[in-house]
Amino acid sequence: MAYTEEELKKELETKEYEYGFYTDIESDTFPKGLNEEVVIALSKKKEEPEWMTLWRLEAFKIWKEMTEPEWANIHYQKPDFQDISYYSAPNKKPKYESLDEVDPELLDTFKRLGISLDEQKKLAGVAVDIVMDSVSVATTFKKTLAEKGIIFCSISEAIKEHPELVKKYIGSVVPKKDNFYAALNSAVFSDGSFCYIPKGVRCPMELSTYFRINQAGTGQFERTLVIADKGSYVSYLEGCTAPSRDENQLHAAVVELIALDDAEIKYSTVQNWFPGNKEGKGGVYNFVTKRGLCERNAKISWTQVETGSAITWKYPSCILKGDNSIGEFYSIAVTNNFQQADTGTKMVHLGKNTKSTIISKGISAGKSQNSYRGLVQVNSRADNARNFSQCDSLLMGNECGAHTFPYIEAKNKSAQIEHEATTSKIGEDQIFYCNQRGIDTEKAIALIVNGFSKEVLNKLPMEFAVEAQKLLEISLEGSVG
Amino acid sequence: MAFENNVDMDHPIHDIRSEAIKNFETKGFPSKKEEAWKYTSLNSLQKIDFSIFPKEENALEYHQVKKYFLHEIDTYKIVFIDGIYSSYLSETTHDGVDICLMSSALTKPMYQQVIDVYFNKVASKEESLTTLNTAFSREGAYIYIPKNKAPKKPVEILHFATGNEATLMLQPRNLIIVEENAELQVIERHQSLTSNEVLTNCVTEIFAAKNAIVDYYKVQNDTKKASLIDNTYIAQKDKSVVKVHTFSFGGKLTRNNLNFYQNGEHIDSTLKGVTILGEKQHVDHHTLVHHQQPNCESHQDYKGIYGERSTGVFNGKIIVDKIAQKTNAFQQNNNVLISDQATINTKPQLEIFADDVKCSHGCTIGQLDEDAMFYLQSRGIPRKEATGLLMYAFANNVLESVRLPELKQRINKLIATKLGVRLGFDL
C-alpha cells in the first residue's frame, strides 16, 4: 500500500523529468491541454492498472465525439477545455496516520476555511477524507471502519487495492457516454472517494469528504463511487467550499451510488463553491452527474443544499430498478447576484411498487436565475408506481427569475403521480409582522427563508443542518430590497 | 411534399407570403429534436404526399353534414368544403358586423386598413408550420366586430373534407378582431367525411381590444385518418376576457398550439380542455401564456382521459415578464390512464421574472378513486356506468364555463358516446 519515501522520491523525480511537468513549490501540475497523451500520463502518474488506462482512453474517445449540451437554461462563456490543467496534486504523497504529520500549511488553510479536523474528529465522529486539489491527504477513523469491513478510501487507492469492486461498478450507473461532462470526467478524473459497505453492515458514522479547489486554473474532476451491499446502510456527506477566484473554474464530477437489495444510501451535499463576485465575475462552473441505482427494496435519498457556483448544472437521479425501491430528492438551491442554477432530479421507475418523492425549494435573489428541471418517468412494467413532487420558488427582488421545467412521462395506468409548483415572494405582511415584534428585516428574511426550506433542512444530518442554515443566511446577505 | 405555386403573385400580402416561404424553407418541418416537438412526431405525416390545392370544387348536401352543425340554435355559418368556401351551406353577414371570408377581406380595398393593422401581426413569423400556413393559405374566416357590438348569434366555422382527393392538406387561415366592448362566440370544427388522409394546418389570429369578450370553442372529433395542427394566436388588450375551450375526442394526430399574449392590464385569459382518447390517437396540447403587463390573470385547466394505445401530451408554458407584477397564473393538468398501453407526457413549465406574483401549477396522473367506485357500486350502479359517471365528474369543471347550453349538451353527448355509457341526465 504505502510506498517508501525513497521510491516516492525517485518516482517524483523521474516522472517529472520524463514528461516535462513543471512543479511549483506547493503542487505539481500538468501543463494545460487535453489529448490522449495527457490521459495516459495521468493514468501513469496515478499508477493505475492497464484496464483503467484503457477505460479512460475509451472515455476520451467518446468525449471527443460529443458536443457540449445546450439545453439547460443557463448562459455562460463555454470553458476552453484545452486551457485547463488536468492534474494537480499536493506534492507530499504519503498518507498520514495522524494529523501531526500533515503539512502545517495545509492544516492552516483548512482552519482558515473554518473546518477544524480535530474538532470534527472529536465532535461528531465523522471520518473525514479530505480532498485537497484532487488527492486525498488525510483519512481518519479508518481503523474503526476497517473493523466493520467498510472500505472508505480515495478512488485511486481503491483502483489499486480493490480492482474487482471498482471494475465491476464504475461506469455501471453513469456510463462513459452518458453525457459530455460524464465522458470528460471518465477520461480525466483525478481522484475522489470510494466507499463499500459489506452485507448487512450499518455504517456507524457519517462518512464525509470535504472538497477544496485551491490551485489556479485547475479543473476538478472528482469521481465518487458508493456501493452499499445487501441490507447495509450508509450516510454520506459531501461538502464543498472554495476560496475566491478570478477566473472561472470548471468542476465536472461524477457520483455513482449503488444500493443493492434492501440497502439504503443517504447522500447529503452542501455545496458552496465560489459563486463569483457581485458583478458576476469569476465563480465556479459546476457540471455534475449524480446518479443512483436501487435494487430490490433499496432506498436512495439525495439531499442537497446548493448555495455556490456561478453555474450549477446538476441532476441527482435515482433509477428505481428493483421492486419496492424508493428514491428521494430534497433540495434547496439558493442563487444570488449573477448566479445561474439549473438543477433538479430524475426519477426513473422501472420496478413494481416503486416510490419517489421530490421536494425542491428554489430561492432566487439579486440578478440570478434559478431553474428546476425534473423528470418523472414511469415505465410500462412499473405497476403501482407512486410519485409526489413539489417545487416551490421564492423570489427576492424584481431582477431575478425562477423557472420550472418538470417532465412527467407515464406509461402505466396504475401510476399515481402528483406534481405541484408554486412561485411567490416573501409577503410584506410577514415581514411587517416580524418588524413590529422587533425583528429587523434582514433577520426576518432569514427566518422566513429558514421556514421555507425547513422540509429539506430537516433531512440533513445534524452537523450539516447547522452549517447549511448558516450558509443560507450568508448567501442571502444584502439581498434585502 | 410537392408544392404547387398557385398563389397569386400580385396579391397585396405577397411580401408577407414570400417572407414566410423563406422562413419555412430554412426551418422545414419540426422534428422531435426540437424541444417543443419532443413528444410529437410528424414523421408519419411527412411520408404522405398531400395534395395542397384540390383540383375541383366539391359540393355537399345539408342533410349529409347536418349532424356536425349546432343545429338546435340559429348560428352564422362559415363552411368550407375541401378548403373552398361553400356559399350554399354558409350564412354570413355584413349587418353591423363582418362575418365573411378571408379571401374577400384580403382582396377588397374596404378591408385593406384592417388587414394592414392585424394580418399576420400576432402569428409567429418563426414557427415553421405557422409560416407554412402564412405562405400557402388561401381561405378562412374573417370576423370583425366593431366597437360596442355583439352579433346576434354565435358563429360556426366548419371545415369539411370530402375525401374526393386521396390525400389532402388544408391550410385555413382565420382572422378575428373584436373591438372595444364587443363580444363574440365562435365554434370551430374540422371534419373529414371519409377515411382518406387529411392534414389540416390551421392558423387563427384573434385580437381582443379593451373590454372585449371572446369565447372560442374548438371541437375536435375527427376520423382516424384526419390530423390537425392548430395554431391559435391571441392578443389581448386591457380588461379583455378571452376563453378558449378545446374538446379533443378524436383524430389521428392533433396538435394544439395555443398562444396567449397579454398586452394590457387586468386581462383575464382562460384555457380549458377535455381530452378523451382511445385507439392509437395522439393529442398534444401546447399552450403558452405570456404575461407582459401587470395585474393580469390566467387560468388553465386541462383534463385528459387516455385509453387503449393513445398518447397524450400537455406542455403548458407560462412566462411572466419582469414588469408583469401582481400576476396570478394558475395551471392545472389532471390525467387518468385507463389502459396499460396508453402514455401521457406532461410538462408544465413556469418561467417567472417578476417577484410579486402568484403562480402555481399542479399536475396529476392517477386512477379513478376506488372508494368512490365502491360507493356507486354498493348503490347498484354497475361498474361500467360508475366509471362513466366518475369520468364525467372528472371532466365537469371544464364544461362549467361553457356558456352555450346547446353546445354543452352536445359535448356531454360526445363524452358519453366516447366513454360508452348512457347516463340519462345532463350535467
pLDDT in tens, B28-77: 788 887 778 888 888 777 777 777 766 666 777 777 777 787 777 888 88
Q: Is residue A278 part of a domain?
A: yes
How many CA atoms lie within 13 Å of A216's alpha carbon, on the beta-carbon side? 5
C-alpha cell of residue B109: 380595398
Q: How far is A384 from chain B (nearest CA, A)?
A: 10
Query: Who's near B387: CB < 8 A, 6+ residues apart?
Result: B368, B373, B419, B421
Given a cut of 50, is residue B101 above it in pLDDT? yes
pLDDT in tens, B344-357: 888 888 888 888 88
**Other beta carbons within 10 Å of B189:** 19
- Per the structure, the complete domain to which residue A122 belongs is given by 5-475
In chain B, what residues touch A356 (CB-CB under 8 Å)? none
Share of chain B above pLDDT 90, in %: 20
Given a cut of 70, is residue A100 above it in pLDDT? no
Would you place residue A89 in the very low, low, confident or very high pLDDT band (cuts 50, 70, 90)?
Answer: low
Longest CA–CA separation in chain B, Å: 71
Q: How far is B293 from chain A (nearest CA, A)?
A: 14
Inter-chain touch A416–B348, beta carbons under 8 Å: no
Given a cut of 80, is residue A253 above it in pLDDT? yes
Give the C-alpha separation, B260 to B316, whole Å. 11
For β-strands B343-352 and A401-410, DSSP reports them as antiparallel
Q: So what's the pLDDT on residue A126? A: 44
Q: So what's the pLDDT on residue A107? A: 56
The H-or-E segment that residue A227 falls in is: strand A223-228
Q: So what's the pLDDT on residue A92? A: 42
Q: What is the mean pLDDT of residues B270-298?
A: 90
Crossing angle for the helix pair A462-475 and A117-124, nearest 10 degrees?
130
Given a cut of 90, is residue B261 above it in pLDDT? yes
Q: So what's the pLDDT on residue A198? A: 92
3-state secondary structure of B261: strand
Inter-chain touch A425–B355, beta carbons under 8 Å: yes
Asked if A138 contacts A130 with a C-beta cutoff of 8 angstroms, the reply is yes
Given a cut of 90, is residue A1 above it in pLDDT? no
Within an 8 Å CB–CB cutoff, is residue A411 touching chain B?
yes
Within an 8 Å CB–CB cutoff, is residue A44 touching chain B?
no
- The angle formed by the CA atoms of residues A268, A271 and A273, to the nearest 5 degrees, is 160
Give the C-alpha separation, B208 to B108, whole Å. 23
Which of A349, A356, A341, A345 lies closest to A317 in space, CA to CA? A345
Interface test with B, best of A389, A404, A418, A426 (most B CBs within 10 A): A404
Give the C-alpha separation, B211 to B180, whole Å. 6
Q: So what's the pLDDT on residue A101? A: 53
Q: Which residue has the higher pLDDT, A240 or A340?
A: A340
Within an 8 Å CB–CB cutoff, is residue A420 touching chain B?
yes
pLDDT in tens, B360-388: 888 888 888 889 889 999 999 888 888 88
Asked if A63 contacts A55 with a C-beta cutoff of 8 angstroms, the reply is no
Given a cut of 90, is residue B233 above it in pLDDT? yes
3-state secondary structure of B385: helix
Considering only the beta carbons, identify the residue of A402, A410, A424 that sits closest to B365.
A410
Alpha-carbon radius of gyration of chain B: 21
Q: So what's the pLDDT on residue A433? A: 92
Query: Who's near A7: CB < 8 A, 6+ residues apart?
Result: none
Given a cut of 70, is residue A95 above it in pLDDT? no
Q: Among A214-223, A350-359, B377-386, whose mean pLDDT is lowest? A: A214-223
pLDDT in tens, A21-59: 333 334 566 777 788 888 888 888 778 888 888 888 888
In chain B, what residues touch A378 (CB-CB under 8 Å)? 365
**What pTM value is reported for the model?**
0.78
Given a cut of 60, is residue A218 above it in pLDDT? no
Inter-chain touch A403–B340, beta carbons under 8 Å: no
pLDDT in tens, A142-190: 677 778 888 888 888 888 888 888 888 988 888 888 888 888 888 888 7
Number of domains present in the structure of chain A: 1
DSSP assignments along A19-41, one per residue: HT-EE-SSEEEPPB---HHHHHH
> What ipTM, to 2 d.p.?
0.76
Query: Who's near B224: CB < 8 A, 6+ residues apart?
Result: B195, B250, B251, B252, B279, B281
Within an 8 Å CB–CB cutoff, is residue B337 touching chain A?
yes
Inter-chain touch B345–A400, beta carbons under 8 Å: no
Q: Is residue A411 part of a domain?
A: yes
Within an 8 Å CB–CB cutoff, is residue A393 touching chain B?
yes
Q: Is residue A198 part of a domain?
A: yes
Given a cut of 80, is residue A476 above it in pLDDT? no
DSSP A77: P
Asked if A131 contacts A125 with a C-beta cutoff of 8 angstroms, the reply is no
Burial of A147 (0-12, 13-18, 19+ CB in 10 A): exposed
C-alpha cell of residue A61: 474517445
- The angle formed by the CA atoms of residues B362, B365 and B369, to the nearest 5 degrees, is 110
Q: Is residue A480 part of a domain?
A: no
